Amino acid sequence: MNLYPNPKRIVSLLTILFTLLCGIPTYAEPFQIVTEAFPPYIYEEKGEIIGMDVEVLEEAARLAKIEIQITLMPWKRAYSMVETGDADGILTIGYKKERESLFYYPAIPSSMGVVRAFVNTSIKDDIKNLEDLKPLVVGVLSGHMYGEEFDSCEDCLRDQSTGYDMLLKKMEAGRFPVALGNEAVVFYTIKKNALAGIRPVSYVLIEAKYYIASSRASKRGKELNEKISEALLEMQNTGQLEIIWNKFRLSR
């Protein structure tokens, strides 16, 4: 009879016990979050990804005691990666009923914004509704939602761009007279690129809510959503969410 236990077995048992007691996950890889540049919500500056939604996500991750890694890429690619489970979550995405089969959504949005119409100098009158848009070519971003009214409009003529820089530079150059966009992002892009002759009009399409959505196809998507949801609720209750939103409020 061996009175001396195997040292390797003791180490293994102690490791398991330590993991259970401390709540350390068995994986060390961070949750992979993908999105596109969407300043001032998300953008890269001097090699660092920053912005309002980034601060919200980082604070939520800190409260949830999880590691995250954010990667910027074109929106269609980011959406596809979360759809297939190659990424765990996507940042700053709008809610749509048909997306519930693909994503878990927290109850609380990470941010909000107003999506409205903008015009160049070729338009002198106000644009107040969808009927005013129908005779015009409208600049939009590929893969973005603009509300049920415009998204379902079969008579609306669209010119697609892959980002706000392209969208607004094309409009300034006269490629189309009207563009739709989040007003905070449009004002930021106008200032950054020193664009001229672009102004907002009355037509507001939606007051958008943006979320940190998690992939249903990812093995860790449900866990990510549960942890982020709990952290966002805490941030809302303590006022931290409002503090971050107020920090990034932009004027025209």
Domain coverage including residue 81: 28-111+209-247
Whether residue 221 is contained in a domain is answered as yes
Task: Assess whether 107 and 125 both reside in one domain.
Answer: no
Q: How do strand 89-94 and strand 31-35 relate by DSSP bridges?
A: parallel
- In this structure, how many other beta carbons lie within 10 angstroms of the beta carbon of residue 167? 26
Distance CA 224, CA 142 (A): 27
Q: CB of 39 within 8 A of CB of 185?
A: yes
Distance CA 34, CA 229 (A): 18
Q: Tens place of pLDDT for every residue, the chain, 252 residues?
A: 455 555 545 445 455 555 555 554 444 599 999 999 999 999 999 999 999 999 999 999 999 999 999 999 999 999 999 999 999 999 999 998 899 999 999 999 999 999 999 999 999 999 999 999 999 999 999 988 899 999 999 999 999 999 999 999 999 999 999 999 999 999 999 999 999 999 999 999 999 899 999 999 999 999 999 999 999 999 999 999 999 988 876 444
User: What residues pair up with 181 in beta bridges, in sequence order?
Assistant: 116
Q: How many domains does the chain have?
A: 2
Q: Whole-prediction pTM value?
A: 0.74
In CATH, what number is assigned to the domain containing residue 93?
3.40.190.10
In terms of Cα–Cα distance, which of 72, 67, 83 is closest to 39?
72
Whether residue 202 is contained in a domain is answered as yes
